[in-house]
Every structure is written in structure tokens, then in C-alpha cells.
Amino acid sequence: MTTRTRRPGPWWGRASGVCGTVAGVDNLWLQKIAENPGHSAWYVERFRTMAREGADLAGEARLIDAMLPRGSRVLDAGCGTGRVGAHLAAAGHDVTGVDLDPHLVAAAQEDHPGPRWLQGDLTELDLPERFDAVICAGNVMTFVAPDTRVEILRRLRLHLAEGARAVIGFGAGRGYDFDEFLTDAAKAGLLPDLLLSTWDLRPYTPGSDFLVAVLKPE
């Protein structure tokens, strides 16, 4: 097990690799990389292939874009290869993306120049600006270590500008019950503003197998 090393300067990019954090011990993404060092490269190529084949990769971004005026500041938390943030940037928003995996961040920088892509741990998220919306898509909250969930949600809340909302989506059957998530969000100071079952605005019901939670600070 590696330990977190404190270094001078900004919080992002402190670790030399994705395993450079204590919180990573129970992080499912890091476990996948430990089991298969080529996992990140496979993931990058998977989405590049989908983009070449014309797959619709912007559903989450369309929802966020509909919530905001042009030129809004958006934080893409757990940005991965940048597919969501890139679409929002193309729509005229000021996008900052953060991800723990440096390979995914490098792919975002290569494939989608323009937005600010940063490597960093969401448990230590500490940016100087506040955002008009925070999006956390791609099942990110089901990959993080369970004991970091509330802290991550708290950090996302702290990065919301006045009147801003956080939008978090993930699927059922991934070890994070929807009711447990909403309880954690409340602990972090985030309350439901709107609950959906898809990114294309279908209503959430108790039997839904996906949750898109639009959250506001309490």
C-alpha cells in the first residue's frame, strides 16, 4: 500500500500515479488497474472507437447545457476521457475537468484541447473558483472508496457558486444504493432538487435502475 505524499503547490497532480493515495485502497477503478495495468488504455480506446463509429456520447452534456446560460463555468468531476466536458466546451461553456487517472486526463488533453483538464483526487478537490454547475457522470461515485463518498460530495458542494447545482448519475447494482447515496448527499449538505431515471429526463421511480440526481446546497 502506498501513502499520500504531500508536496508544495496546487492539490492537483500531486501523486506520481493513480496509486499515490491512501484512499485508493478501496477505489474500484484503482483495483481494476492493479489487476490489469492496461485497463486505462483499453478504456481510452473504447471511447475513441465509439466516437469514430458515431455513438451518442453527449447525453449527459445536453442535460447540463439545458440548465445553463452560455458561458457558464462547469466542473466535470471524474471527467475520464473528457467526452462530457468537451461537448459542453463546444457549446460555449468554460469547463474544468478533474480525474484521478493520469492516462485518462492525458487522453482528454490530446483529444479535446481547450478545456482545462487536471489530474487530481476528488477527496482533495480544492480549486480557487466556484462553478455554475458540477457534473459527475459515468458511474464515478460507484468507483470511489466508500469511506470517501461523503467527503467527495462535500467537496463538490463547496465548489458550487450561488444558485448552482450538482448533477450526479450512476446505475443500480454497483454497490451503492440510491437511498444510501441520497443520505450521504444530505450529510454533505446537498438536497434533491430533481430526481430522474435517465439523462433524457425520464422521471425517477422507486424501481428505476439508474439515478440522475440534481442536487442543490441546503
pLDDT tens sequence across 76-122: 999 999 999 999 999 999 999 999 999 999 999 999 999 999 999 99
pLDDT digits (tens, 9 = 90+) for 4-27: 323 334 444 433 333 334 344 589
CA distance 150 to 135: 16
Neighbour count for residue 54 (Cβ, 10 Å): 7
pLDDT digits (tens, 9 = 90+) for 174-195: 999 999 999 999 999 999 999 9
**pTM to 2 decimal places:** 0.85
| All domains of the chain in start order, with CATH | 22-217 (3.40.50.150)
CA distance 104 to 162: 30
Angle between helices 39-52 and 28-35 (to 10 degrees): 100
Contact status, residue 111 vs residue 83, Cβ threshold 8 Å: no
Neighbour count for residue 19 (Cβ, 10 Å): 15
